[in-house]
Chains A and B, each alone.
Chain A
């Protein structure tokens, strides 16, 4: 992974084999409040994320902590992606079992009836 500051843009380059486009989108979605985010590919194997601050510029003194946050977040979203991929079938099974044999979901939508029977008022 390479993180560089170029002309007020923070450029993050990762191997797509390590961090898929899905992971990049999910991770950098959370940067959308403070940054304009562009995600591109280079040569088909490199994911390039461009972060442009919405207000002001990126202070070089904060670059270290920002880079650390990015590395940490990417790892977290990669881990989440692994869990999602590995547990997809079990999760589907769990939810299917949770709502199986639920007759009420097969109940027809109530048919429109007239106003309350005035005998009951």
Chain B
């Protein structure tokens, strides 16, 4: 019996295996060359793999499969983030900061510099614009600089939003991104009152963290550890999260960094590479480390984390979890950096202190270097339609879907990956990017390949990965992150 092909892509995992991935993300790991055999009709209905191909919508016994409506619903579910439109609203309250981090991406100013705080007029207009989003769920993320330098403005923002929300009845989540060195009783009380989530930076053990993050006269590591403990005690364990950034110095300590997160009572770590913006790009006029170096660091840490899990310690690597949620569940991940269409405008915007609105936080960082390519408009001078649906947004839209990008359109990992026009532009001078030399592509292709290969080689590891995706975690995920 012959069969009809359904849309799928494939990618080599290694010399012996390849993975077939259909349009809704179902995958089948099989012997290298299987895709060719499927296409050449060399698979017989009595072959063991035929049942898998049929059940997982790689082939059909009819030109149009009976369950095409089910497939369509699943495709729609994968793209469900589009329904809500912009849900993550970043408010850059100030560029002033009391830290001097070696990889700073935001063009920070010193605490004494004037003119770099968000005015109440820009704040008011930004909030008004945020409420025009059709999304029922809004995440308000306060960033800087160091937002606690303008605690009064944070309070004003939250109180204004909360009051205005009586008319809109949206689900609003507040996140305060802070280094915690200026944590005060006043700030704690306010965060308690409004359920504000604290997001801070912990780069690893003291010698790693302090090598990356400097503050004059203060031990940055001790300050953040103290702050985390205080916030947990007053706000609750689940209201405090930490992120690490991998510097060149960090590359030598993957296991020590994971151990530090364990020691500090975290149940997960998000292993992040340097973003190619700001100081991270300008240092010595060249990138501080290669993608291959980061991948080695990442894999070392991930394998260590898996070892911990297999020994009974539940500990998650967040980037892997995000990718795995796209591989192993029918849902969208909610992670704006790994979406197609990309999260710029669709899921996230950044309201800068000066009233300018940017397509993403990274777009704002480019602007700090004098490049306004991804500036969408100004809250005082442009309407919501001009900013969110205007010519700039439409220009970006040409390059925000990996389904139509060179290299990505044929890639077997397309469904699990995303597009990043801002990063492409920043690193390669083109929003479309060039995949063969694209760091974002290289990193994601290898991480996805590695995760699939790990699952193929070990049922135990697949079981660990599935525990990372338990239903309660999926339910708790904010719509945008």
Q: Contact size class for B?
A: 35 or more
Say which residue of A32, A84, A104, A111 sits within 8 Å of B83 (CB atoms): A104
Tell me whether B124 and A116 are in contact (CB under 8 A): yes
Assembly CA distance A13 to B221 (angstroms): 61
Say which residue of B68, B124, B406 sits within 8 Å of A115 (CB atoms): B124
Which of A4-12, A44-52, A73-81 lines the interface with chain B?
A: A73-81
Tell me whether A109 and B71 are in contact (CB under 8 A): no
Question: Knowing A86-B5, A112-B384 touch, does A94 contact B71 (C-beta < 8 A)?
Answer: yes
Nearest Cβ in chain A — how far from B64, in angstroms?
A: 7
Question: Knowing A91-B23, A112-B384, A115-B124 touch, does A83 contact B406 (C-beta < 8 A)?
Answer: no
Nearest Cβ in chain A — how far from B422, in angstroms?
A: 21
Chain A residues with CB under 8 Å of B163's CB are: 120-121
Q: Contact size class for A?
A: 35 or more
Tell me whether A113 and B39 are in contact (CB under 8 A): no
Say which residue of B10, B164, B437 sits within 8 Å of A121 (CB atoms): B164
Say which residue of A90, A111, A115 sits within 8 Å of B7 (CB atoms): A90
Chain B residues with CB under 8 Å of A30's CB are: 407, 435-436
Chain B residues with CB under 8 Å of A29's CB are: 406-407, 435-436
Interface of A is mostly: helix
**For chain B residues 331-390, which have a beta carbon within 8 Å of chain A?**
383-385, 388-389
Tell me whether B434 and A32 are in contact (CB under 8 A): yes
Question: Knowing A30-B435, A116-B131, A116-B164 touch, does A98 contact B5 (C-beta < 8 A)?
Answer: no
Nearest Cβ in chain B — how far from A98, in angstroms?
A: 4
Chain A residues with CB under 8 Å of B308's CB are: none
Assembly CA distance A120 to B162 (angstroms): 9
Chain A residues with CB under 8 Å of B319's CB are: none
Question: Counting CB contacts under 8 A, is B36 at the interface?
Answer: yes
Q: Which single residue of chain B is at the shortest CB-CB distance from A99?
A: B76
Tell me whether A98 and B73 are in contact (CB under 8 A): yes
Tell me whether A94 and B128 are in contact (CB under 8 A): no
Question: Counting CB contacts under 8 A, is A43 at the interface?
Answer: no
Chain A residues with CB under 8 Å of B437's CB are: 32-33
Assembly CA distance A66 to B160 (angstroms): 63
1/0 contact string of B43-66 vs chain A (CB within 8 Å): 000000000000000000001100
Nearest Cβ in chain B — how far from A111, in angstroms?
A: 8
Say which residue of A32, A98, A99, A109 sits within 8 Å of B385 (CB atoms): A109
Question: Knowing A30-B407, A80-B9, A91-B7 touch, does A120 contact B167 (C-beta < 8 A)?
Answer: yes
Question: Counting CB contacts under 8 A, is B410 at the interface?
Answer: yes
Question: Counting CB contacts under 8 A, is A95 at the interface?
Answer: yes
Tell me whether B128 and A116 are in contact (CB under 8 A): yes
Chain B residues with CB under 8 Å of A97's CB are: 68-69, 72
Assembly CA distance A80 to B407 (angstroms): 12
Assembly CA distance A80 to B409 (angstroms): 10
Question: Counting CB contacts under 8 A, is B79 at the interface?
Answer: yes
Chain B residues with CB under 8 Å of A75's CB are: 36
Give 7 new A-B contacts, CB below 8 A, not counting A80-B410, A90-B64, A109-B388. A84-B410, A86-B39, A87-B7, A93-B68, A94-B68, A117-B167, A121-B163
Chain A residues with a Cβ under 8 A of chain B: 26, 29-34, 75-77, 79-80, 82-84, 86-87, 90-91, 93-95, 97-100, 104, 107, 109-113, 115-117, 120-121
Chain B residues with a Cβ under 8 A of chain A: 4-10, 12, 23, 35-36, 39, 63-64, 68-69, 71-73, 75-76, 79, 83, 124-125, 127-128, 131-132, 134, 160, 163-164, 166-167, 383-385, 388-389, 406-407, 410, 434-437
